Amino acid sequence: MNQPLRNSGSTEHYDVVVIGAGVSGMYALHHLREMGLSVRVYDGASDVGGTWWYNRYPGARVDGPGSPFYCYTFSEELMQEWDWKETQSEQSAVLAYLEHVADRFDLRRDIQFETWVQDARYDEAAQRWTVETDTGVRASARFLICALGALSTANMPDIPGIHDFAGECYHTGQWPHEPVSFEGKRVAVIGTGSSGIQSIPEIAKEAAHMTVLQRTAQYAFPAGNRPITPEDMADARANWDGIRAKMHANVGGFPFDMHARAALDDTPEQREALYEELWQRGGFQFFLDLYNDIAVSEEANASLADFVRDKIREIVRDPKTAEKLMPDHFVMTKRPILDDGYFETFNRDNVTLVDLREDPIERFTATSVVTRTGEHPIDVLVLATGFDAISGSMLRLNPKGRGGMSLRERWQDRFHNYLGLTIAGFPNLFMIHGPGSPGVFYNMPLGAERQMDWIGKCMDHLREQELGAIEPSAESEEAWANEVSAIANVTLFPRTDSWWTGANVPGKPRGFSAYLGGSIYYQRISDLAAKDYEGFVFEKANRSGDTET
Ligand code: N01
């Protein structure tokens, strides 16, 4: 079933078109093939890996709970045969794993690389999607799966003169595949999120001079990267069933127990002792072993924020620089960052910190960046300015649904969706890690598997019931938006400007874009499916042949 079903003129016909060959799209392809469906995947890159194919900047590593649990769980054999070497795997190690997955499951034969999907339109009469690509290939499919990546559309700063800059310029999310040399060069980095904080220490080691252009000071925690020994791997393999079950049950999709105490139940001395112990140990475990009220109580939050600010003052020798590095938002309400020598980097003689809040960028020239207080001559500009996250890639694709309505029109004021998976007016279109899903707040490979498994069952349901199309009702979208907001509003997250709220992209509608219920989400979507897909509207198949998936 994996060849085009039929080819009419220049249009290839499939059961499913998947856009994106990253972690989500790769699993989608595997799962759909297992279901016996014909599938075509398109990706603009020249190989698999998605975010891990693009983000090759110096210092790029897993900065979540890490290996060996940032991985697929669908294949026991895959787990048994792959060796992870470090807890915070380098980009190249994660990419090697994904390449291995592609080889092992022979994925590439159904993926067309270096092919950008330029348009996707729903044909109401045929109940099918048609996609147009920049290689001239056109494909039609009953279902469209958007596995576009939550962090894949680069956020390019619009600063006067930036296009006049004549030196080398790189965005961390679109890093060249050839080595970039910083030796003897004057480098400026804009951005101090995860990508900036991972790359700045590495680039500073090589550059003649580095200017860090910081708009928002950040909390960063020691990455605590450590080797994974053969014994660790053997343990993980021997206990894989239990680990997998724990991952499914855990709020974030990782096999860890959460701390049961609240910060305010402890004395200041006890809190300090716990923070110190976690700081010394390092790793994302910091946030999991932490008190359970840091993200909900201002007072608890302040106790950790003060602790990190004291650490920054301890590490950074120049008090004026240390003050510029003091974050002033609630800790953890921007994506927590793991670093390896970030604050220490400001003790180097070749590094200058510019606080853009007091000394904003006025313009770029061909050879420099000019801030209010002076000119900084540079040879290389690194844009660690992040992404139009979560919704940005869907908006860039801008599919056209019923009546030719574009997603940009539909999402003008808010990212209307149901379950983070579907959109009213866009039948038979499914998003993986879309707005309104746990997405970036959950172990992403596992989340992709669980969403895709749900989508597969939904497709089966349509086939069994001889239905032609599924989409949510506008009312269920409204209720879902309220549920997402209600959960987020219990926390401090929506009170800080971040890419989670859309605040990093000028003009983007504000709103907290992720479902913070974690694993509850998967129970929720499964329960709704069991209730005959509550909240959805179905359409009979217009032609009997089209129910054959
Ligand atoms: O992007 P970011 P990122 N002028 O949006 C600044 C994941 N990730 O690529 O905070 C000046 O976090 C912006 O300032 P502000 C991870 O989930 C994973 O670093 O908006 N500055 C901020 O400092 C992460 O959270 C891994 O005020 C401008 C920075 O640029 C997510 O990706 C590694 C500006 C952007 O930070 C995104 O991280 C890396 C402007 N016009 C990332 N525009 C791994 O797991 C933006 N900024 C390996």
* Banded model confidence at residue 543, pLDDT cuts 50, 70, 90: low
133 is in which domain, residue-wise? 5-48+107-153+388-540
Smallest CA separation from ligand 1 atom 40, residue: 157
* Banded model confidence at residue 352, pLDDT cuts 50, 70, 90: very high
Phi-psi region of 156 (alpha: psi -120 to 50; beta: other; left: phi over 0): beta
Alpha helices, DSSP H only, in 218-336? 230-238, 240-249, 268-281, 285-288, 298-315, 319-324
- In the reported structure, the alpha carbon of residue 376 is separated from the centroid of ligand 1 by a whole-number distance in angstroms of 22
Whether 388 lines ligand 1, by a CB cut-off of 6 Å, is no
Mean pLDDT, range 406-416, rounded to an integer: 97
User: For residue 529, with 0-12 CB atoms within 10 Å meaning exposed, 13-18 middle and 19 or more buried, which class applies?
Assistant: middle
Probe target for ligand 1 pocket from 71, 89, 504, 510, with the most ligand atoms within 8 Å of CB: 504
Say how far apart CA 92 and CA 90 lie, in whole Å: 5
- In the reported structure, the alpha carbon of residue 360 is separated from the centroid of ligand 1 by a whole-number distance in angstroms of 18
- For the chain, what is the domain count? 3
- In the reported structure, the alpha carbon of residue 298 is separated from the centroid of ligand 1 by a whole-number distance in angstroms of 24
Q: Which of these, 104, 350, 76, 13, lies nearest to 203 by C-alpha position?
A: 350
Closest ligand 1 atom number to CA of residue 504: 20
Q: Which two tokens stand for residue 83?
A: 């060796």
Q: Which two tokens stand for residue 477?
A: 């979208």
Query: Which residue type sits at 357?
Result: R
pLDDT of residue 287: 87
Smallest CA separation from ligand 1 atom 36, residue: 193
| 87: in domain | no
Residues 360 and 453 reside in one and the same domain: no
Residues 404 and 380 reside in one and the same domain: no
Whether 457 lines ligand 1, by a CB cut-off of 6 Å, is no
Closest ligand 1 atom number to CA of residue 173: 9
Whether 337 lines ligand 1, by a CB cut-off of 6 Å, is no
| 70: in domain | no
Read off the pTM: 0.96
Say how far apart CA 244 and CA 240 lie, in whole Å: 6
| 246: in domain | no
* Banded model confidence at residue 236, pLDDT cuts 50, 70, 90: very high
User: For residue 56, with 0-12 CB atoms within 10 Å meaning exposed, 13-18 middle and 19 or more buried, which class applies?
Assistant: buried
Each residue of 487-512: pLDDT tens digit?
999 999 999 999 999 999 999 999 99
pLDDT of residue 549: 40
Whether 199 lines ligand 1, by a CB cut-off of 6 Å, is no
More confident residue, 311 or 63: 311
Probe target for ligand 1 pocket from 329, 385, 498, 499, with the most ligand atoms within 8 Å of CB: 385
CATH number at residue 396: 3.50.50.60
Residues 400 and 535 reside in one and the same domain: yes
Please tell me the chain's helix, strand, coil percentages from 3-state DSSP, rounded to the nearest 5: 35, 20, 45
Q: Which two tokens stand for residue 513?
A: 């874009």
Q: Which of these, 230, 206, 173, lies nearest to 54 by C-alpha position?
A: 173
User: Of 369, 386, 403, which residue constitutes the final position of a domain?
Assistant: 386
Each residue of 119-158: pLDDT tens digit?
999 999 999 999 999 999 999 999 999 999 999 999 999 9
Closest ligand 1 atom number to CA of residue 196: 19
Whether 332 lines ligand 1, by a CB cut-off of 6 Å, is no
Stated as kind and residue range, the H or E segment containing 477 is helix 474-489
Whether 63 lines ligand 1, by a CB cut-off of 6 Å, is yes
Say how far apart CA 145 and CA 142 lie, in whole Å: 10
Say how far apart CA 422 and CA 473 lie, in whole Å: 10
Encode burial over 309-322: b for 16+ CB neighbours within 10 A, e otherwise.
Answer: bebbeebbeeeebb
Closest ligand 1 atom number to CA of residue 216: 27
Is the pLDDT score of 548 beyond 70? no
Residues 350 and 419 reside in one and the same domain: no
Residues 198 and 188 reside in one and the same domain: yes
Is the pLDDT score of 47 beyond 70? yes
Mean pLDDT, range 423-429, rounded to an integer: 98
Is the pLDDT score of 547 beyond 70? no
Whether 216 lines ligand 1, by a CB cut-off of 6 Å, is yes
* Banded model confidence at residue 65, pLDDT cuts 50, 70, 90: confident
* Banded model confidence at residue 5, pLDDT cuts 50, 70, 90: very low
- In the reported structure, the alpha carbon of residue 194 is separated from the centroid of ligand 1 by a whole-number distance in angstroms of 6
Smallest CA separation from ligand 1 atom 17, residue: 335
Whether 67 lines ligand 1, by a CB cut-off of 6 Å, is no
Closest ligand 1 atom number to CA of residue 356: 11
Is the pLDDT score of 63 beyond 90? no
| 93: in domain | no
Residues 399 and 535 reside in one and the same domain: yes
Smallest CA separation from ligand 1 atom 6, residue: 191
Residues 353 and 206 reside in one and the same domain: yes
Residues 441 and 523 reside in one and the same domain: yes
pLDDT of residue 3: 46
Please give the C-alpha separations between residue 364 and each of 203, 233, 387, 478, 493, in angstroms, as whole numbers: 21, 50, 21, 44, 34
pLDDT of residue 9: 56
| 72: in domain | no
Mean pLDDT, range 243-249, rounded to an integer: 93
CA dihedral 532, 538, 539, 540 (to 10 degrees): -10
Whether 151 lines ligand 1, by a CB cut-off of 6 Å, is yes
What is the dihedral sign for C-alpha 170, 434, 417, 469?
positive
Closest ligand 1 atom number to CA of residue 191: 30
pLDDT of residue 421: 98
pLDDT of residue 545: 45
Residues 435 and 381 reside in one and the same domain: no
* Banded model confidence at residue 286, pLDDT cuts 50, 70, 90: confident
| 79: in domain | no
Residues 368 and 489 reside in one and the same domain: no
Residues 356 and 444 reside in one and the same domain: no
Query: Which residue type sits at 360?
Result: P
| 289: in domain | yes
Closest ligand 1 atom number to CA of residue 503: 20
Whether 508 lines ligand 1, by a CB cut-off of 6 Å, is no
Stated as kind and residue range, the H or E segment containing 526 is helix 520-530
Is the pLDDT score of 8 beyond 60? no
- In the reported structure, the alpha carbon of residue 388 is separated from the centroid of ligand 1 by a whole-number distance in angstroms of 10
User: Of 333, 359, 377, which residue constitutes the final position of a domain?
Assistant: 333
Percent of the chain at pLDDT > 90 equals 93
Residues 440 and 517 reside in one and the same domain: yes
The answer to whether residues 172 and 199 touch, using CB atoms and an 8 Å cutoff, is yes
